[in-house]
Amino acid sequence: MPADAGALLTVDLDAIAANYRRLCEEAPGAEVASVVKADGYGLGADRVAPALWAAGCRTFIVAIPAEAVPLRAMLPEARIAVLNGFDVAAAPLFARHRLEPVLNDLAQLDAWRAFNAAQPAPLPAILHVDSGMNRLGLGDRDVAALADAPDRLAGAGIGTLMSHLACSEEPDHPANAQQRAAFAAARARLEPALGPVATSLANSSGVFLGPDFHGDLLRPGAALYGINPRPAHVNPMHQVIQLYGKILQVRVVDRDMTVGYGAAHRVAGGRRLATVAIGYADGYRRALGSRGVAFLRGHRAPVVGRISMDLTTIDISRVPADVARPGAAAELIGPHVDVDAVAAAAGTIGYEILTGLGQRVARRYVGGPA
């Protein structure tokens, strides 16, 4: 544990690369992209993306142009797609850094066509049709409008047609088949104008729905970082992170007393407590108060009381005194409690846990390209 930090996050870049290769094995014949938005799901895109490139990934996906610009500097030959679409104000970035917008509505399509007409050579784009998510993408009326006016697609450089699954982590959910059928119907309507076009439907969980959902380009994100894409099954992905917090103080409660803000948790006299230097400012969620758990050399120590901004209290009454001592490191995410387990205890999802890890937490990277 670094002397100047209260918590340490270890990121295994080799595990991320292994997860990428595992996803490729699941979909032979298709290209597997890597979603590295939100700073590589909070783990550092500047370290994650080169590791994925070294593992064979050539297509990277971000949410906004500001995420794409530093990525282009790192990976000059990569294909980089921007999910949130095209904004005329950001047009110079798309041209200068060779970014591929995901066009989400007719206004973006029209603006992109006008922009593209002024380029020395047409730039590629992805067209997003909504198949049931009702978030981004062209609706049925928009698809019909394009089918009736195919000239609106001329010069747009559309090489890929995509949609996004809403319930892919539930393999038996009827929405999966419904969305697949809706996507196929939209493709059939647009293909006379588009010509042969690549397709992209599957996210992390969609990769495991089988070949009918794979298409030409898969877009996993969470699974790369160790989140279970098949919640009802054993996680097929390697765990990527470990998070440890430093014990600052150990005390014995000498009588029945309460712990932390709001006196929300009561402990009996004789219990041993440890205060760990991590809190919600570091991304250890406040919802984990009296619900989270830490481990010290395999010994379980439940969180007691509310999580503070900088501190968390754990009950170490069943942990040997020589193990639970000031300066020792308590495992908060790791071999005994993975990201998904922490998320479940906090009433959220692993995505939020990863992307919420604060920059104050010291970071250590292991593995990765030489």
Catalytically annotated residues: 37, 261
Which residue, among 316, 280, 321, has the nearest Cα to 301 in the 3D structure? 316
How many other C-beta atoms are found inside a 10 Å radius of the C-beta of residue 195? 10
Gap between the Cα atoms of 106 and 156, Å rounded: 12
What are the C-alpha distances in Å from 155 to residues 169, 258, 265?
37, 68, 64
Torsion of CA 156, 160, 161, 164, to 10 degrees: -130
| Cα–Cα dist 192/187, whole Å | 9
| Terminal Cα distance for the chain, rounded | 24
- Per-residue H/E/C for 194-221: HCCCEEECCCHHHHCCCHHHCCCEECCC
Dihedrals φ, ψ of 292, to 5°? Answer: -80, 175
Q: Where are the alpha helices (DSSP H) in 210-349?
A: 339-346
- Non-local (6+) Cβ contacts of 233 within 8 A are none
Helix (H) or strand (E) segment spanning residue 301: strand 299-302
> For the CA atoms of the chain, what is the radius of gyration?
24
> What is the rounded distance in angstroms from the CA atom of residue 350 to the CA atom of residue 193?
40
Which tokens sit at 107? 């206004």
Dist CA 104 CA 319 (whole Å): 54
Phi, psi of 11 (to 5 degrees): -115, 125
- Give yes or no for a contact between 324 and 316, defined as CB atoms under 8 angstroms apart: yes
Q: Is the CB of residue 292 less than 8 Å from the CB of residue 346?
A: yes
